Structure 1
Amino acid sequence: MAQTDAATAASSRQLKLSTILAFACTSLPLSALTIAMAVYLPRHFATEIGISLAAVGSAFALVRLIDIPLDPLLGVAMDRTRTRFGRYRLWTVIGAPVLMLAIFMLFIQPSGGVTGLIIWLLVLYLGTSILHLSHAAWAATLAPKYNDRSRVFAIMTAVGVLGSVLVLGMPFLVSGLGMDEAQGVPAMGWFVLLLTPVAVWIVVALTPEKIAPDVPGQKFQIKEYWRLIARPSMGRIVLADLCLSLGPGWMSALYLFFFTDSRGFTTSQASALLGVYILAGFAGAPLLGRLAMRISKHRAVMVATTGYALTLVALPFLPKGDMLVGAVQMFMAGFLAAGFQLLTRAMTADVADEIRLEQGKERSGLLYAITTLTSKISGALAIFLTFQVLERVGYNAATGATNDEVAVRGLEYAFLLGPIFFVTVGGLCFLGYGLGEQEHGRIRRELDERDALYDEAPVIETLAGEPSIPTPLVEPRKT
């Protein structure tokens, strides 16, 4: 009884900022890697390694397609994992060495041409899938309250911004040391490689984990995949997440080409502006999280997407090569983009509660696997489609190549129209969305009442020796 009272009291308290900051450390290497992968690595293989644009784009697309079935399988496996060490904590530890090996073979010692690129991209995506899924699902159980989730995912995003900004500094560090520009990508690789085990250790050592009780008699069936996506709330999130990943992903794939050949910036200047875009997330993530606490998450998404689209519309009309004007515009875009995934991920946690109330089983890992799939699909489509378009308009990405006005104009259209369209559609997905704070509050009350009927196993401790929330691990009492 004392353990039950302690668990109830723990779940009612707001999470400490120090706990959230420690937990958010996984976002550091993952966000840094996301930027390096989206902006620098494809271009590096096309310009420095000597693989054609079409081949690079096709390799990324092929790997994403092969990788699609992996996330749901990982999500199911994570949801079924029950150990005294934890559920998602265990998978976080498993994912780190897989990711580190792939980073070394892609960023630091690339070999094998297109075949090697495909093989090690598969390993890389396996590692990132494990860490992304375990981190997001763990966050959903760490913060059970509607508004607390906005706070947790906002801080995770803000901490991830730091990792992105740091990796963007690698080209400047390389240049300052008098090294060749081509060494920038290997430097990024070493940075993420060394950061990963440190970040994972902090998360595992300092963050508690609660394993929610399952209602016996419910079994997972393959058709549940479709049932989850077909739910009105989850279906909207999936479509919105696809669009809100594809828009910025499309922009990232063409970013350096657009800002150097169309807007007249050097590669270093374009990297600095990208740093401003990413750094704006420090302000954007927490403030959009607070906005979500006031007007609800889905309305905050609609505000952010509308502003983002309007910001991109203005880009072609700005003076070329003007760092100050470019910095203001990129800050505005980055500020608003910071709210996209943090809000949809926080909303996914609410849907996980809705499903657990109905099915009696934890489905957070599977739900986040579905949303992660949208990011993977959008990432593959962005690189594949945009690189194909560049070749069709005659754009030459080789170092030192000169492109005519027609090719540059095609680049401009490709860079702007895709992100504006997809981000706008992503915001429109939440017109009439029903799972707001009031409905989620009802769901949580019913879940807490049901969970209180379960016995609890001994407390799972963090490596730092602090007790976590007690974890029910046995069958419910007969009442």
Structure 2
Amino acid sequence: MSDASQKIPLREKLGYSLGDVAANFFFQSMILYQTAFYTDTVGLSAVAVGTMFLVLRLVDAVVDPIIGALADRTRTRWGKFRPWILVTAVPFGLVFWLVYLSPDFGMGGKLVYAYVTYALMMMLYSANNTPYSALMGVMTPDASERANIARYRFVAALVGQFLIQALTLPLVVKLGAGNSARGWAVTMGIFGAVIIVMYLVTFATTRERVQPPPTQKPSLGADLKAVFACGPWLVMFVLTLLVFTTLVVRGSSLNYFFNYYLDRESIRSFLDGVGLASAAGPGEITGWKSALDALGLIVKADGSNAPAVGLSFFFVAGSLIQIIGIILSKPLADRFGKKAVFITGMSVTAVATALVYFVTPTSMGLLVVLSILWPLGWGPTVPLLWVMIADVADYSEWKTTRRATGFMYAGILFALKAGLGLGGALSGWLIAAYGYVPNVAQTEHALLGIRLSATIYAAIPFVLGIICLLFYPIGKKLNLRIQEELAERRKNY
């Protein structure tokens, strides 16, 4: 198929995007709720949880390059990357559910269970998401069309993010009926089944079209050399590490920020103003609120679930606003270049993150303003990260005549996992260092630690990421040149 005919059908874009809905069921749960689940429901210490995250994610990060190398060498009638999505779909959904069980093994047994199930989950994520991410780079050789696929993918990712942010905590409260462990198990069991279905649809609807140069011979050493000698790849590696460190520190800390720092009555009053609170007793809620109440999205008369509903509301509102940025990412990148858009977006996001420090327990208005600013800045960067990695694969092929798409994406996922590990460890260690104790009123020092973790500390990696991007060499003009020269080369294949 010639480059001129590489436009991707809508059905295929939608099918591919479902894979990121599924991935975000796991990914958002991990970023936003995992630490709080382990500390407040399972009963593990924050230090133990932070250490587990760091150890397992750093060890598991080694799996990503192995998966990438294996995927690049996979040869089937379905292609290189699609078979991995098929084979991992069912285990992924099942183990996702197992992670959120809290068996009565005693504290030592619970910690071992957490280590085992979480290690399995992260390995399955590697085996699934490394090929899934690389798949976008071989669906079409057209950089603009890849950016278009990325828009579909990340709008769909926001749907997954929206569902997890809106439904998880309210459903845990609703389905648990006072038993947090049961609520998590039932809620995540439902999500796990949905994950399986979506991955199977992704496999069935996608196709691989870009192949390595026909003269390229499999060589792990050559792939390693091509990757580590690629300056743009090194920049993207460090950037990814910093971005996902921030996302985990901020996301995890916001759970504690809402549950312990913000004034519960102020949250309830704000939610009442947007129609999400009710003075009615159980069974007395009627109309459209009854549907929301069934999902746990209405604040109870006693206000006990106000932090859970409030956090879900702010996450969901942010996701909806973020869609605007994702939709605008392609036209903005086409006009100004991906690098410039990414730097601008991260700058806005870093400022909005840090300014939340000045939110008082009752100043919901300021929190609303900053919660609007944050996704407006972050939205355009979401698809650009992954599109830029595909551009780096093109850059490497242009420079070396070797293409190792899977290996390059695997290296970036290594950085992602390392960021998740570092962010998870920091989120646990930081609040522990300030004296956090679960399920009790916090001291002033502990509250300071929660505030700093959700704001100033979370903004620091973003600032470092902006500095890192200044060294990224693929601007708009060079990217166009690479596309044109590679297209000429491929005419001879």
Q: Given the two structures, how large is their TM-score scaled by the length of structure 2? A: 0.84
SS in 2 for 1:402: coil
For residues 234 and 178 of structure 1, do their structure 2 counterparts lie closer, same or farther at Cα, with a shift above 3 Å needed? closer
- The whole-number CA distance in structure 2 between the counterparts of 1:119 and 1:223 is 34
**Equivalent residue pairs, number:** 445
For residues 324 and 156 of structure 1, do their structure 2 counterparts lie closer, same or farther at Cα, with a shift above 3 Å needed? farther
Deviation at 1:79, TM superposition (A): 1.0
User: Contact 1:255/1:415 (CA < 8 Å) preserved in 2?
Assistant: yes
- The whole-number CA distance in structure 1 between the counterparts of 2:97 and 2:465 is 35
Q: Deviations over 1:313-350 (max 9, x none)?
A: 32133353455543442232133223334212111101
1:410 matched to 2:449? The reply is yes
- The whole-number CA distance in structure 2 between the counterparts of 1:438 and 1:90 is 36
Q: 2:70 aligns with which of 74, 77, 94?
A: 77
SS in 2 for 1:208: coil
User: Paired residue for 1:315?
Assistant: 356
Q: 1:428 aligns with which of 467, 470, 480?
A: 467
Q: Deviations over 1:43-62 (max 9, x none)?
A: 11211212111111111111
Deviation at 1:176, TM superposition (A): 4.8
For residues 188 and 225 of structure 1, do their structure 2 counterparts lie closer, same or farther at Cα, with a shift above 3 Å needed? farther
Q: 1:180 aligns with which of 162, 178, 181?
A: 178
Structure 2 letter corresponding to 1:204: F
User: Paired residue for 2:98?
Assistant: 105
- The whole-number CA distance in structure 1 between the counterparts of 2:424 and 2:228 is 25
Question: Which stretch has the larger CA shift, 418-427 or 15-24?
Answer: 15-24
Structure 1 residue ranges, 4+ long, deviating more than 6 angstroms after superposition = none
For residues 226 and 186 of structure 1, do their structure 2 counterparts lie closer, same or farther at Cα, with a shift above 3 Å needed? farther
Structure 2 letter corresponding to 1:59: M
1:288 matched to 2:329? The reply is yes
Deviation at 1:368, TM superposition (A): 0.8
Question: Which stretch has the larger CA shift, 334-343 or 70-79?
Answer: 334-343
Unaligned runs of 5+ in 1: 1-5, 455-479
1:124 matched to 2:121? The reply is yes
Structure 1 letter corresponding to 2:79: G
Deviation at 1:98, TM superposition (A): 2.6
Structure 2 letter corresponding to 1:296: G
Q: Deviations over 1:143-187 (max 9, x none)?
A: 422333322223211111111211231332344567236144224
SS in 2 for 1:435: coil
Deviation at 1:209, TM superposition (A): 1.6
SS in 1 for 2:42: coil
User: Paired residue for 2:277?
Assistant: none
User: Contact 2:329/2:383 (CA < 8 Å) preserved in 1?
Assistant: no
User: Paired residue for 2:227?
Assistant: 228
User: Contact 1:276/1:334 (CA < 8 Å) preserved in 2?
Assistant: no
User: Paired residue for 1:363?
Assistant: 404
| Pairing 1:25-36 to 2, within 5 Å after superposition | 25-36=18-29
Q: Deviations over 1:216-244 (max 9, x none)?
A: 35442447436523422112111111111
- The whole-number CA distance in structure 2 between the counterparts of 1:52 and 1:17 is 47
User: Paired residue for 1:472?
Assistant: none
Q: Deviations over 1:80-126 (max 9, x none)?
A: 11221121111111221231231132124656411111111111111
Question: Which stretch has the larger CA shift, 58-67 or 442-451?
Answer: 442-451
Q: Deviations over 1:221-268 (max 9, x none)?
A: 447436523422112111111111111221012111122222335232
1:46 matched to 2:39? The reply is yes
For residues 109 and 393 of structure 1, do their structure 2 counterparts lie closer, same or farther at Cα, with a shift above 3 Å needed? closer
Structure 1 letter corresponding to 2:18: C
Structure 1 letter corresponding to 2:15: A
User: Paired residue for 1:461?
Assistant: none
| Pairing 1:249-328 to 2, within 5 Å after superposition | 249-264=248-263, 265=267, 266-321=307-362, 323=364, 325-328=366-369
User: Paired residue for 1:450?
Assistant: 489
Q: 1:334 aligns with which of 370, 375, 380?
A: 375
- The whole-number CA distance in structure 2 between the counterparts of 1:230 and 1:359 is 10
SS in 2 for 1:87: coil
User: Paired residue for 2:245?
Assistant: 246
Q: 1:165 aligns with which of 162, 167, 190?
A: 162
Deviation at 1:352, TM superposition (A): 0.7
Q: 1:150 aligns with which of 147, 152, 160?
A: 147
CA RMSD after TM alignment: 2.3
Question: Which stretch has the larger CA shift, 344-353 or 440-449?
Answer: 440-449
- The whole-number CA distance in structure 2 between the counterparts of 1:9 and 1:17 is 17
- The whole-number CA distance in structure 1 between the counterparts of 2:383 and 2:176 is 38
SS in 1 for 2:78: coil
Q: Deviations over 1:370-421 (max 9, x none)?
A: 111111111111121221122221121x22x121112211222232222211
User: Paired residue for 1:60?
Assistant: 53
SS in 1 for 2:2: helix
User: Contact 2:96/2:188 (CA < 8 Å) preserved in 1?
Assistant: yes
For residues 421 and 170 of structure 1, do their structure 2 counterparts lie closer, same or farther at Cα, with a shift above 3 Å needed? closer
- The whole-number CA distance in structure 2 between the counterparts of 1:85 and 1:336 is 38
- The whole-number CA distance in structure 2 between the counterparts of 1:171 and 1:140 is 35
Question: Which stretch has the larger CA shift, 408-417 or 249-258?
Answer: 408-417
- The whole-number CA distance in structure 2 between the counterparts of 1:83 and 1:426 is 39
User: Contact 1:161/1:278 (CA < 8 Å) preserved in 2?
Assistant: yes
- The whole-number CA distance in structure 2 between the counterparts of 1:335 and 1:191 is 31
For residues 376 and 188 of structure 1, do their structure 2 counterparts lie closer, same or farther at Cα, with a shift above 3 Å needed? farther
For residues 405 and 96 of structure 1, do their structure 2 counterparts lie closer, same or farther at Cα, with a shift above 3 Å needed? same
- The whole-number CA distance in structure 2 between the counterparts of 1:178 and 1:260 is 18
